[in-house]
């Protein structure tokens, strides 16, 4: 009932950041299989300096999503990223819990 | 996503209205559809289903890959009674992701010193609720023990379909309350929805422990509510 903006809300954050003149992207979990740490619909707000708020996993793949978001912010072309089980030998980014997720990353324009 | 779409979405969310955002994954276009507003015929069924279930999903429609994301209003707790339990609840509720407001006409109880940081309305529920109606995304906890203060908001919460309605008091006190509400025309089905004695049975004793039990019961009501029928209706 308090009408103050929620400082942890990625959708409010991404709007605020855009108003401040920062280039921003929004990442959204669009599909999950098996054990996924964050449900479909979860958001992560990212700016071009790599600042972020929210989450699309329990911290497993945020780094990779933020790196890809830099491309999306530069090009304006949205991307769908897929992450599966972490491959320990190759040090590949992935989900240690064994699930798979798809994440949609889009730039906020206007 | 266009900034204007994001702004519309955020203002709808701030007004505690549900909305569906439809994103076209191929071209990056997205549109926001507030609950109750006009819908394009092709997406009507998918948007309606998303609003009913509260679950976002992908769908292939008209040769396009679309993502329907659902935004439900954040749950909030309205507490009747600026009592000791409410003080503990006021600290816990925000941690668990709930907005909270306290209503109590007794100005000696409802002081800013006792309730810093939480919305405090020092007036009768009858005077406050008509202007700020309860809704299906609200939990009501009546904690004053006083029928003059508690009874009206309990009735209002049942009528509004609040996902949780709890009232403090022993079984004997509650039996009298049910009798009063029945005489006032509230159905047995409705009074059966009132959680009393309030809170999960975890043997809570201190005001803080009772606040934990109440919050846990509210979370249970929220997460296990019936999504097939009326959204927000507690089972």
Banded pLDDT at A3 (limits 50, 70, 90)? very low
CB contact under 8 A, A1 and B14: no
pLDDT for res A60: 78
Tokens for A19, please give them: 């108003």
Mean local confidence (pLDDT), B141-152? 95
Banded pLDDT at B235 (limits 50, 70, 90)? very low
Cα B30 from Cα B64, distance rounded (Å): 13
Banded pLDDT at B234 (limits 50, 70, 90)? very low
Q: Give the mutation candidate from B67, B76, B79, B140 for the A interface (greatest A CB count, under 10 A).
A: B67
B interface with A, Cβ–Cβ < 8 A, is: 1-4, 6-7, 9-10, 13-14, 23, 25, 28, 30, 55-58, 67, 69-70, 76, 78, 99-101, 119, 132
pLDDT at A86 over 70: no
**Chain A environment of B15 (Cβ under 8 Å):** none
- Span between the terminal Cα atoms of chain B, in Å: 37
Architecture of domain B76-223: 3-Layer(aba) Sandwich (3.40)
What would the 3-class secondary structure string for chain B be? Answer: CEHHHHHHHHHHHHCCCCEEEEEECCCCCEEEEECCCCCCHHHHHHHHHHHHHCCCEEEEECCEEEEEEEECCCCEEEEECCCHHHHHHHHHHHHCCCEEEEECCCCCCCCCCCCCCCEEECCCHHHHCCCCCCCCCEEEEECCCCHHHHHHHHHHHHHHCCCEEEECCCHHHHHHHHHHHHHCCCCHHHHCCCECCCCCCCCCCCHHHHHHHHHHHHHHHHHCCCCCCCCCCCC
pLDDT for res B224: 81
Q: Evaluate whether A29 touches A65 at the Cβ level (below 8 Å).
A: no
CB contact under 8 A, A109 and B2: yes
**Chain B environment of A41 (Cβ under 8 Å):** 56, 69-70
Mean local confidence (pLDDT), A51-59? 89
User: Which segments of chain B belong to CATH 3.40.50.720?
Assistant: 76-223
B204–chain A nearest CA distance, Å: 28
CB contact under 8 A, A40 and B55: yes
pLDDT for res B227: 52
10 Å Cβ neighbour count for B79? 29
Nearest chain A residue to B119, by CA: A2
Asked if A2 has any chain B CB less than 8 Å from its own CB, the reply is yes
pLDDT for res B228: 47
pLDDT for res A7: 57
For chain A positions 54-93, those within 8 Å of chain B (CB to CB) are 77-78, 80
Banded pLDDT at A93 (limits 50, 70, 90)? low
Cα B82 from Cα B89, distance rounded (Å): 10
pLDDT for res A109: 95
pLDDT at A59 over 90: no
Banded pLDDT at B16 (limits 50, 70, 90)? confident
Mean local confidence (pLDDT), B62-76? 92
pLDDT at B195 over 90: yes
pLDDT at A1 over 50: no
pLDDT at B51 over 50: yes
**Chain B environment of A15 (Cβ under 8 Å):** 3, 6-7, 10
Indicate the pTM of the whole model. Answer: 0.72
Of A18-22, B32-36, B227-231, give the lowest mean pLDDT range. B227-231
- Tracing tokens 């309305």 back to the chain, one arrives at B121
Q: ipTM value of the model?
A: 0.85
Cα of B135 vs its chain's centroid, Å: 6
Query: Under 8 Å CB-to-CB from B79, ≥6 apart: which residues?
Result: B86, B89, B90, B100, B101, B102, B103, B140, B141, B143
Out of A12, A41, A80, the one facing B25 most closely (by C-beta) is A80
pLDDT for res A8: 78
Looking at chain B, the whole-number percentage of residues with pLDDT higher than 90 is 77
Cα A5 from Cα B78, distance rounded (Å): 19
Banded pLDDT at B124 (limits 50, 70, 90)? very high
Query: What angle (nearest 5°) sits at the alpha carbon of residue A17, between those of residues A11 and A18?
Result: 90
Out of B4, B13, B58, the one facing A110 most closely (by C-beta) is B4
Q: Evaluate whether B9 touches B71 at the Cβ level (below 8 Å).
A: yes
A108–chain B nearest CA distance, Å: 5
């Amino acid at each position: 009932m308090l009408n103050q903006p929620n400082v942890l809300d990625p959708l409010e954050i991404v709007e605020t950041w855009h108003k401040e003149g920062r280039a921003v992207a929004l990442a959204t979990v669009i599909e999950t299989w098996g054990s996924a740490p964050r449900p479909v619909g979860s958001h992560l707000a990212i700016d071009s300096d790599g600042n972020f708020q929210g989450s699309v996993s329990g911290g497993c793949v945020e780094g990779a999503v933020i790196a890809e978001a830099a491309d999306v912010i530069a090009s304006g072309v949205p991307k769908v990223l897929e992450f599966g089980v972490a491959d320990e030998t190759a040090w590949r980014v992935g989900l240690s819990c064994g699930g798979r997720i798809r994440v949609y990353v889009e730039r906020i324009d206007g | 996503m266009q900034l204007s779409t994001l702004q519309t979405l955020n203002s709808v969310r701030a007004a505690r209205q549900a909305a569906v955002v439809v994103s076209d994954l191929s071209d990056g276009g997205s549109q926001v559809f507030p609950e109750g507003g006009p819908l394009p015929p092709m997406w009507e069924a998918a948007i309606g289903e998303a609003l009913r279930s509260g679950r976002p999903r992908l769908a292939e429609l008209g040769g396009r890959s679309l993502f329907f994301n659902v935004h439900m209003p954040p749950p909030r707790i309205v507490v009747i009674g600026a009592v000791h339990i409410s003080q503990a609840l006021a600290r816990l509720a925000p941690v668990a992701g709930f907005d909270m407001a306290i209503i109590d006409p007794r100005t000696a109880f409802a002081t800013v010193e006792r309730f810093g940081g939480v919305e405090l309305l020092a007036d009768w529920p009858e005077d406050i609720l008509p202007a700020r109606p309860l809704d299906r995304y609200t939990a009501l906890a009546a904690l004053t023990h006083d029928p003059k203060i508690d009874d009206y908001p309990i009735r209002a919460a049942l009528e509004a379909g609040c996902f949780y309605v709890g009232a403090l008091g022993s079984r004997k006190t509650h039996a009298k309350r049910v009798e009063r509400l029945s005489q006032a025309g509230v159905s047995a089905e409705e009074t059966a929805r009132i959680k009393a004695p309030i809170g999960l049975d975890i043997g809570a004793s201190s005001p803080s422990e009772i606040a934990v039990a109440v919050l846990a019961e509210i979370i249970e009501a929220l997460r296990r509510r019936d999504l097939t029928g009326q959204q927000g209706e507690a089972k």
